[in-house]
Amino acid sequence: MNTTPRTEDASGFAPAPGAVRDFVAVDESGEFSYHRSEQDLVAAFEYTAEAACIMDRSGAGYRLELGPNRHLVLGPARGPVEFHWLRQAWLDAQSTHPEMYRLRRFFPPTREAVVQDVFETLSLEHGPEPAEGSWSLGLNGAASYPANLPDIDSWLARQDRLEHVLVKDPFGHCYRPSRHRGHWYLPAQTGLILYVEVPAPAASHSGG
């Protein structure tokens, strides 16, 4: 699915009251996409049924409709998106297209958790960088602060082993990077890198 070029400033975090809303859409093939505004969302689709589901950060669902001029418009909220469908669709998309959804968080137990995970991970991978917070990359006790996920990918591509690397995203989630081979006969180093969530390390305490 194609999305329109992004030209406005935006944050990966929930917008303030009165700010432009962002959306996530699930298309008819089951792919998720992030859209930073209603205008970007509508421009990304060509017909009403192409977006099987649209949701905002509250988890409210929407559909595309034809306006009076026969142009696509966003229809009114239709109530909360069904939790079990949303969670299964998200897991299926990650399994089918690992190259598109590489931040793998813990299994979301509630509708609120899956909505938050979808918005945060898609905005980190495919949307604007968050206005607050930063990435961190830890190895053998030393930390660096890359600008974004592509910078982390570039650094990790030069490493032979990843088991001692810890990545923390701007929302505070920690991951261990792992190479994923598309085919068994390819060298492990050629695979794409997935980021698998792990518990945050316990804070060290000094003193006796």
pLDDT at 189: 55
Question: Computed over its alpha carbons, how large is the radius of gyration of the chain?
Answer: 19
Q: Which H or E run includes 204?
A: none
pLDDT at 190: 58
DSSP-assigned letters across all residues of 31-98: -EEEESSHHHHHHT-SSGGGEEEEE-TT-BEE-EEE-TTS-EEE----SBPPHHHHHHHHHHHHHH-T
What token pair was written down for 35?
């859209």
The Cα 9–Cα 174 span in angstroms is 26
pLDDT at 152: 92
pLDDT at 10: 33
Q: Which H or E run includes 197?
A: strand 192-198
Report pLDDT digits (tens) over 135-168. Answer: 999 987 788 998 889 999 988 988 888 888 999 9
Residue partners of 172: CB distance under 8 A and separation at least 6: 133, 200
Roughly what angle, to the nearest 10 degrees, separates helices 83-96 and 111-126? Answer: 40
pLDDT at 56: 97
What token pair was written down for 112?
């609120």
What token pair was written down for 170?
């701007």
Per-residue pLDDT of the chain (208 residues; tens, 9 = 90+): 333 333 333 333 444 455 568 999 999 999 999 999 999 999 999 999 999 999 999 999 999 999 988 899 999 999 999 999 999 999 999 999 999 999 999 999 999 999 999 999 999 998 776 656 689 999 877 889 988 899 999 889 888 888 889 999 999 999 999 987 655 555 555 578 999 999 988 765 544 4
The Cα 145–Cα 147 span in angstroms is 7
- 72 bridge partner residues: 66
pLDDT at 47: 96
Q: Tell the residue number behind the tokens 């469908």, with chain if given.
A: 85
